[in-house]
Amino acid sequence: MEERNKDFIFEKRNYQLMIVGLVVMAIGYLLMVGGGSEDPEVFNPEIFSARRIVVSPTVIIIGFAIEIYAIMWRPKSKSTSE
């Protein structure tokens, strides 16, 4: 039987940062939830609140930025200068 390489693509820190990014994005999507109305004939101005229009998309974009950073992050190589 051939041995499989059990190395991961990323380091442990990369995966931790990816999880943080996913949690931040989930928080952003949760901030966007709500504001609807039970009756379609009634307008609810809460749907256009600052939380849903400004804060939530900003948090989601920050989450995407964390994801990009998590993918691009590399540990500092330990160079020996002898």
Q: What is the pTM of this model?
A: 0.78
Q: How many domains does the chain have?
A: 1
Alpha-carbon distance 37 to 53, whole Å? Answer: 17
Each residue's pLDDT tens digit, 45-62: 888 899 999 999 999 999
Which domain, by its residues, includes 45?
12-72
- Buried-state track 10-37, b at ≥16 Cβ within 10 A, e below 16: eeeebeebbeebeebbeebeebbeeeee
Residue 7 in any domain: the answer is no
pLDDT recorded at residue 4? 65
Alpha-carbon distance 68 to 59, whole Å? Answer: 14
The residue with greater pLDDT, 24 or 76, is 24
Each residue's pLDDT tens digit, 11-45: 999 999 999 999 999 999 999 998 777 888 888 88
